[in-house]
Structure 1
């Protein structure tokens, strides 16, 4: 059973924050690993410190960039997709997660191609935040349907 409109709007907001936060975390980890692997002249101790600093900066930057991008994607692509899935009766967590992951990868490939040609190869990484966003939308938009108790015989 579908929840109220305010619950569904809340689901979109939470999904957007979760997707942008996931991108931020992935950026921070990637930056940290990159600096640790190639410490250069500074040595490992300094590389760990620089990795944490630049990782936090990368996380903040990527959150600021990805938040409006995912918001537009959820409104332009996510809402019509939810409507199609709902009206076709495909309201499982898997249907929402897989569809959102695929859409996130496809949209990411297009955006990457337009903004920085050659970076579209990183688009499959967007399946993670996309799938999480789809799962959150499903989880927060639908109530569990509990069967009515059987009448006494």
Structure 2
């Protein structure tokens, strides 16, 4: 289990960056696919180039928007949830990943509904970055450490 406050903060930062980066990657892929599927009159070659450019912009925008949102979520919802799971003895990778995925979907649906009504249907996609954040928190907190091999005698 993570002992020091700096380790706990480091775990939250890593989980946040992983979740925001995953959201950014999903944004880029979505933009790229949407431009490739409907290239318009410019042709497929120009659509590929435009898709990559707009995909990178979507990824940057997705990271900038999702980083503070996931940070607030990890602090406001994630820390109390970790405390509850830890104190109830539910410290498996599945418990952390599934709980984080469900919380991410619910929080995403609420945020999407408030900021852009009608987009909450995309909230289930947030299970992926949420589950990854839960996995990284479990991995850094509860995965058993394997001791180094004993030196030969």
Q: TM-score by structure 1 length? A: 0.92
Residue 118 of structure 1 deviates from its aligned partner by 0.6
Which position in structure 2 is the counterpart of 1:104? 104
Say which SS state the counterpart of residue 28 (structure 2) adopts.
helix
Matched, 1:130 2:149: no
Q: What is the aligned-residue RMSD (CA, Å)?
A: 1.2
* RCO higher in structure (CA 8 A, sep ≥6): 1
Q: Which runs of 5+ in 2 are unaligned?
A: 147-153
CA distance in 2, matches of 1:109, 1:130: 13
Residue in structure 2 matched with residue 151 of structure 1 by the alignment: none
Whole-angstrom distance in 1 between the partners of 2:42 and 2:23: 28
| Matched-pair contact (CA < 8 Å) for 2:2–2:140 | no
The number of residue pairs the alignment matches comes to 146
Secondary structure (helix, strand or coil) at the match of 1:144 reads coil
Matched with 2:65 is 65
Instruction: Please state how far the C-alpha of 1:6 moved relative to its aligned partner.
Output: 2.0
Is contact 1:19-1:129 (8 Å) kept?
A: yes
| In structure 2, C-alpha distance between the alignment counterparts of 1:121 and 1:77, rounded to whole Å | 22
Q: Shift of residue 3 of structure 1? A: 3.7
Number of the residue aligned with 2:24: 24
Asked if the contact 1:21/1:63 (under 8 Å) is kept, the reply is yes
SS at match of 1:117: coil
Distance between the aligned counterparts of 1:73 and 1:5, measured in 2? Answer: 19
